[in-house]
């Protein structure tokens, strides 16, 4: 459940809405140990505007994972509005990090009614954490039992930047406040360095910043075009002046605005700036995910080899020589997908009435950064068939490590093919290059780098500059030089 709710919160950080300030507090139920508190305006949230604003922020198109949340979120918000829920709070305490236990707080004049849509939402999400629904005269709370007891008892509640400042930012569609108790902040300030280490050439003092800043709040004002603000609420106007002096040059150099107002320092980032920062981060994360998936697949290939004295066949065929299923299907038992493997009719082709029903069950491991379309069953992880490829003639044949005489560290097992070459994961189709002269364009496509998994179990990036003798990487017995 938390995985799904984390995705929900990731989207909600971009949500828009024009809201009046409610001015209410939840001090009587807020976890005394909370270090993070998010407030989401339910009453004025405009989901179509959300999707429009999110579009293009992380890439050319809105990711499918975000689009898939559109209807569930919209339905949930409508259900909450029907029972007069105006806002939701989500709190988190660092001491709950090991169990990743968020607490969801729903203020309501009719808790019994407000509980119903929450129960319905929970019933549709697999529960993976020990969270329970609790009600009081004014709230519905979804929390771990230990967190709930802290919320009820309100023991050891001490002044903190979070409790002091979270109410100040309720005139936004979204606010996320991070703050610590004054005692913890003082302890951290004692051990944090006065300056950043030499490799980081930024003139900042972590010790000074943690002493001066009581809380940090991310807000979204809900007005087009998309704009986010980070507000540093400081101990005093003098502290705010120091923080402004530390940060102004750095912030302005990145195309963002910074202002000093009384005891606060406000940094504003518009959509173009956000896009410039977020797209490389997303691209790097997607690249990491792709590499990790490829490592799992090549490891599964080796586990298959150990069990069957050979790598999986490129594809299987029936007695008449007709192709049936891809090598990817036969790796399922070695990717913790044995139940899915057992669902296949192995003597039927990939597109038989039965096997077609399994296409949409493609495991996430076969999703790459350029085919984030798990629901469509497409993958770009493919072996390359070309002159001299160890995969040639691979129907119903097990390729062995000893067949790769050029060396497993010099021979590519499979690649992330260009997006245009993506195939249905169960389909016995891979990247076929009939002419060696066309190998470069067929394998690289428009890209400058080629993610490749080698038979030795490694995953490496092959750049255009390194690919002068590209064909050598795809032959197992060619005796070519790959360096």
Q: Assign 83 to helix, strand or coil.
A: coil
Which is nearest to 316 in space by CA: 306, 324, 304, 307? 324
| Residue 304 within any structural domain of the chain | no
- At 69 the pLDDT is 66
Q: Is residue 44 located within the same domain as residue 177?
A: yes
pLDDT confidence band for 20 (50 / 70 / 90): very low
In this predicted structure, the answer to whether residue 23 has a pLDDT above a threshold of 50 is: no
Q: Is residue 111 located within the same domain as residue 244?
A: yes
b/e code 255-273 from CB counts within 10 Å (16+ = b): ebebebeebbbbbbbebeb
Q: Among the ranges 60-64, 70-74, 417-421, which has the highest mean pLDDT value?
A: 417-421
Q: Is residue 217 located within the same domain as residue 315?
A: no
pLDDT confidence band for 200 (50 / 70 / 90): low
| Residue 483 within any structural domain of the chain | no
In degrees and rounded to multiples of 5, residue 455 shows phi and psi of -65, -15
Q: Among the ranges 170-174, 212-216, 390-394, 472-476, which has the highest mean pLDDT value?
A: 212-216
Distances (CA, A) of 244 to 197, 229, 253, 260, 264: 21, 15, 14, 6, 9
Q: Is residue 268 located within the same domain as residue 415?
A: no
Q: Is residue 390 located within the same domain as residue 434?
A: yes
- At 15 the pLDDT is 39
Q: Are the CB atoms for 290 and 307 separated by under 8 Å?
A: no
The beta strands (E) that lie in 93-226 are given as 103-107, 131-135, 139-144, 174-179, 213-220
Q: Is residue 244 located within the same domain as residue 373?
A: no
Q: Is residue 74 located within the same domain as residue 169?
A: yes
Q: What is the 3-state secondary structure (H, E, C) of 342-398?
A: HHCCCCCCCCCHHHHCCHHHCCHHHCCCCCCCHHHCEECEECEECCCCCCCCCECCC
Q: How far apart are the C-alpha atoms of 42 and 106, rounded to whole Å?
A: 10
| Residue 257 within any structural domain of the chain | yes
| Residue 286 within any structural domain of the chain | no
Residue after which a domain boundary falls, among 257, 277, 297: 277
| Residue 160 within any structural domain of the chain | yes
Structural domain boundaries, residue 163: 2-277
| Residue 291 within any structural domain of the chain | no
Q: Is residue 32 located within the same domain as residue 132?
A: yes
| Residue 283 within any structural domain of the chain | no
State the total domains in the chain.
Answer: 2
Q: Is residue 273 located within the same domain as residue 316?
A: no
Percentage of the chain modeled with pLDDT above 70: 80
Angle, helix 111-123 to helix 70-82, in steps of 10 degrees: 160
Q: Is residue 174 located within the same domain as residue 66?
A: yes
Q: Is residue 261 located within the same domain as residue 348?
A: no
| Residue 345 within any structural domain of the chain | yes
Alpha helices in 45-180 (DSSP H): 47-54, 64-67, 70-82, 111-123, 145-153, 161-165
Q: Is residue 385 located within the same domain as residue 329?
A: yes
């Amino acid at each position: 459940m938390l995985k799904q709710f984390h995705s929900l919160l990731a989207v909600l950080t971009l949500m828009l809405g024009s809201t009046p300030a409610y001015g209410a507090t939840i001090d009587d139920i807020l976890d005394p140990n909370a270090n993070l508190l998010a407030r989401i305006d339910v009453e004025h949230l405009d989901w179509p505007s959300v999707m429009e604003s999110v579009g293009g922020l992380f890439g050319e198109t809105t990711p499918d994972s975000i689009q898939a949340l559109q209807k569930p979120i919209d339905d949930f918000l409508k259900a909450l509005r029907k029972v007069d829920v105006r806002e939701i709070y989500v709190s988190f305490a660092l001491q709950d990090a090991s169990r990743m236990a968020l607490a969801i707080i729903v203020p309501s004049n009719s808790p019994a009614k407000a509980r119903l849509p929450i129960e319905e939402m929970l019933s549709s999400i697999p529960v993976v954490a020990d969270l329970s629904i609790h009600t009081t005269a004014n709230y519905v709370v979804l929390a771990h039992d230990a967190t709930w007891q802290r919320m009820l008892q309100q023991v050891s509640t001490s002044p903190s930047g979070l409790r002091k400042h979270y109410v100040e930012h309720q005139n936004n569609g979204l606010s996320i406040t991070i703050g610590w108790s004054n005692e913890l902040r003082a302890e951290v300030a004692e051990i944090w360095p006065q300056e950043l280490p030499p490799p980081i050439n930024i003139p900042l003092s972590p010790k000074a910043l943690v002493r001066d800043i009581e809380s940090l709040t991310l807000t979204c004002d809900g007005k087009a075009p998309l704009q986010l603000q980070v507000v540093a609420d400081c101990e005093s106007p003098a502290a705010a002046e120091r923080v402004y002096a530390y940060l102004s040059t750095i912030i302005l150099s990145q195309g963002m605005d910074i202002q000093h107002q009384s005891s606060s320092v406000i940094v504003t980032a518009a959509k173009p700036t956000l896009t410039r920062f977020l797209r490389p981060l997303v691209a790097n994360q997607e690249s990491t995910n792709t590499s990790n998936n490829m490592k799992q697949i090549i490891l599964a290939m080796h586990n298959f080899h150990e069990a069957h004295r050979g790598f999986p066949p490129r594809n299987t065929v029936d007695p008449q020589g007709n192709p049936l299923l891809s090598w990817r299907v036969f790796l399922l038992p070695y990717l913790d997908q044995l139940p899915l493997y057992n669902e296949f009719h192995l003597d039927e082709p990939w597109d038989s009435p039965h096997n077609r029903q399994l296409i949409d069950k493609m495991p996430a491991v076969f999703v790459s950064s350029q085919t984030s379309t798990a629901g469509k069953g497409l993958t770009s992880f493919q072996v390359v068939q070309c002159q001299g490829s160890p995969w040639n003639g691979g129907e119903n044949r097990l390729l062995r490590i000893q067949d790769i005489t050029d060396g497993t560290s010099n021979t590519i097992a499979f690649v992330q093919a260009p997006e245009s070459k993506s195939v249905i994961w169960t389909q016995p189709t891979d990247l076929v290059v009939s002419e060696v002269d066309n190998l470069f364009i067929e394998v690289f496509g428009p890209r400058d780098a080629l993610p490749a998994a080698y038979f030795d179990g490694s995953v490496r990036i092959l750049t255009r500059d390194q690919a002068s003798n590209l064909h050598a990487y795809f032959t197992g017995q060619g005796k070519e030089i790959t360096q």
